[in-house]
Structure 1
Amino acid sequence: MNTAVATPSQTRSLKGVRLWAWTTLALFVVVVLQGAVVRATSSGAGCGNHWPLCNGEVVPHFQRLATVIEFMHRSLTGISSTMFFVLAGWTFYATPKKHPARKAAMWSLGFLILEALLGAILVKGHYVENNTSNMRVFVQSIHFTNTMILLAWTTAVAVLLGNVKAAAFNKPLRQASLLTIVAVLITGAAGSVAALADTIFPSHSLHAAIAADFAADSPLLIRMRWIHPAASLLIIAATLLLAKRLKQNNAGHAANLLFANLALQMVIGVADVLMLAPTWIQVLHLLGADLFWISLIGISVPLFLAKPSTT
């Protein structure tokens, strides 16, 4: 990690950009939750197949609720995107050369651009509303994974703009962290498919939902729904291992934070299934996932700053 000393003006600016980074992250979480509302209410075609304009207009006529929901999502996305670009520029101004936050900011911009392109593909390809094609499943899974990676890099920027220092190099701890990160990405992508299945093929009872999961004549989306709860077992196992490693390295507070977030997610996840996935609990479940992910990345950043000893 670079040890160059910042000037007084940079130090003052660093406080501001750190707050801006966390604000940008918070607003982007809201955008992600808005996206879940768009999907859960089948409002993805609320602006037609126009992108980035809505029905070909800057401010459309709001004749449908779907148009209101989609337009609000796009509007807040535009504000959030602007904040990302300001964050990158401010980060370069406030930090010395080779500061790790600069690289993280550039990665976040790269994934932001990819996020916009994937959103455009969903709209222009008509992979919205009741489209059940394999391509929609693929694009949506990629889109959700990209969203998670963008959240990760933005979290990294915010953390690196603080007084974080590289942890002592610990290969087992870093491996446990990486395993948990991969498990979350896999489970999240599977969760986006399960949520899509719940939206397009709602069940009238828990018994009917479980029966549909294993019925040979059920749509592929329904038969893929079991992957998400099964994959969540990976997160539980990986988190337990990571928490154990953290406690072995006197990081009990970090381990407890992960446990608390994981327990909350498990409770919400079970409620989501039992209540047949109403929109509000899907959004709450996604919020819990985002908080767990941000906590995990925040804990992991110092681990990946560490360099193995050359002596």
Structure 2
Amino acid sequence: MPPTDAPDSAPRLARFAWFTVAANLLVILWGAFVRASGSGAGCGNHWPLCNGEVVPPSPTLATVIEFTHRLTSGVALLLVVALVVGARRALPRGHRVRAAAWVCLGVMILEALIGAGLVRFELVADNASMARALTLGAHLLNTLVLLAALVLTALWAGGAPPLRWREAGRSRWLLGLGTVGLILVGMTGAIASLGDTLFPARTLAEGLAQDLDPTSHLLLRLRVLHPTFAVVAGVLVLWIGTAAARWRVEAGAAGRRVAGLVLVQWAVGLTALALLVPVPLQLTHLLVADLLWMAWVVLLARVLGAQSGSASRTSEATARAASMSNTVPADSSR
């Protein structure tokens, strides 16, 4: 096994970090349900209060959905704060896990501020402005950064080596393209989902006609970007997943998971399109997208982190060989 600089308490921290990942994933899915159900204005334009109250009396269903999202988001924030505290207590100053945990907290705070901006500027409910679409895209990007930071925190707390882009050779360019591609798929998916929610089609043919009609709302005409990026980036990521084992043996399982999730995501996306994107399939599509992104981050850690692990093992082997060459003559002289 590759050497690790993590102390004995790191495995417990890693388990807590993975729990925090799972909790945040649930919060993300519930946030998507808030948008899909049109409940974003359930607390009015008040934040952090809900309709001017700490606990709204006699809430409507939309208020319950939105208020629940705020409560669970608060719990997720507290978990990330606990992760920072745990990393500070368990690991020495300057350790990459401590730095990653602080990044998680910073991105988490930014996530809350973006959500607050959506509410305060009333970019919710039936708002079909490009400001809302762009903000949702930024929200999705921030969410991906948060998940990546949380996954890396968990991996590093478990003893995974740091990422070394410069030692990856030509593969780093493919990995970089795959990362950008998945981000673009996610951001365009957020915009497409908004268009599906605000302008639902009665039939698949009607939806396709809306996408191609130059007089349609811009959100509808932008929907075509999502499947385009999904196919192009998906093919690249699928190929990288199957090729990962040839780059690093340690990355084989992670690569197969990525490749499998790409195929699952294509199947879910096509099914959602054929069934006119019902809310359960929207949430399933987002869940698989997040799982694919997290699997991709693990793959990056396996490919790029293996560089340092391989280098360390090579150095150890060289040192052992040198030690043996120095001791053999002494033994023979006796």
Per the normalisation by structure 2, the TM-score is: 0.86
1:263 aligns with 2:263: yes
Equivalent-residue separation in structure 1 for 2:242 and 2:10 (angstroms): 34
1:178 aligns with 2:189: no
1:131 maps to what in 2?
127
User: Could you tell me whether the CA contact under 8 Å between 2:262 and 2:292 is conserved in 1?
Assistant: yes
2:289 maps to what in 1?
289
User: Could you tell me whether the CA contact under 8 Å between 2:192 and 2:220 is conserved in 1?
Assistant: yes
Equivalent-residue separation in structure 1 for 2:173 and 2:303 (angstroms): 10
Deviations 1:204-229 (A, max 9, x none): 00010011110122111101001000
Equivalent-residue separation in structure 2 for 1:224 and 1:164 (angstroms): 40
Q: How big is the shift at 1:32? A: 0.4
User: Could you tell me whether the CA contact under 8 Å between 1:174 and 1:303 is conserved in 2?
Assistant: no
Judging changes above 3 Å, is the alpha-carbon distance between structure 1 residues 106 and 304 closer, same or farther for their aligned structure 2 residues? farther
Segments of structure 2 that go 5 or more residues without pairing to the other structure are: 312-334
Query: Normalized per residue, which structure has more helix?
Result: 2
Count of residues in correspondence between the two structures: 303
Deviations 1:113-167 (A, max 9, x none): 1111100110000000010111111111111111111111111101111121358
Deviations 1:276-306 (A, max 9, x none): 0111100000000010001110121244444
Indicate the SS of the match to 1:226. Answer: helix
Indicate the SS of the match to 1:225. Answer: helix
Judging changes above 3 Å, is the alpha-carbon distance between structure 1 residues 4 and 187 closer, same or farther for their aligned structure 2 residues? closer
User: Could you tell me whether the CA contact under 8 Å between 1:141 and 1:193 is conserved in 2?
Assistant: yes
Tell me the C-alpha RMSD between the 2 structures. Answer: 1.9
Segments of structure 1 that go 5 or more residues without pairing to the other structure are: none
Percent identity for Structure 1 against Structure 2: 36
Equivalent-residue separation in structure 2 for 1:258 and 1:202 (angstroms): 31
- Greater Cα shift, 57-66 or 192-201: 57-66
1:212 maps to what in 2?
210
Per the normalisation by structure 1, the TM-score is: 0.92
1:28 maps to what in 2?
24
2:231 maps to what in 1?
233
Equivalent-residue separation in structure 1 for 2:88 and 2:94 (angstroms): 10
2:126 counterpart letter in structure 1: N
1:102 aligns with 2:119: no
1:91 aligns with 2:87: yes
User: Could you tell me whether the CA contact under 8 Å between 2:156 and 2:162 is conserved in 1?
Assistant: no
Equivalent-residue separation in structure 2 for 1:5 and 1:156 (angstroms): 15
Judging changes above 3 Å, is the alpha-carbon distance between structure 1 residues 167 and 103 closer, same or farther for their aligned structure 2 residues? closer
Equivalent-residue separation in structure 1 for 2:288 and 2:148 (angstroms): 15
Q: How big is the shift at 1:29? A: 0.3
User: Could you tell me whether the CA contact under 8 Å between 2:238 and 2:258 is conserved in 1?
Assistant: no
Q: How big is the shift at 1:95? A: 1.4
- Greater Cα shift, 176-185 or 80-89: 176-185
Query: Greater Rg, structure 1 or structure 2?
Result: 2
User: Could you tell me whether the CA contact under 8 Å between 1:268 and 1:281 is conserved in 2?
Assistant: yes
Equivalent-residue separation in structure 2 for 1:62 and 1:27 (angstroms): 28
Judging changes above 3 Å, is the alpha-carbon distance between structure 1 residues 51 and 148 closer, same or farther for their aligned structure 2 residues? same
Equivalent-residue separation in structure 1 for 2:4 and 2:253 (angstroms): 30
- Greater Cα shift, 169-178 or 184-193: 169-178
User: Could you tell me whether the CA contact under 8 Å between 1:261 and 1:292 is conserved in 2?
Assistant: yes
Q: How big is the shift at 1:243? A: 2.3
Equivalent-residue separation in structure 2 for 1:148 and 1:95 (angstroms): 26
Indicate the SS of the match to 1:56. Answer: coil
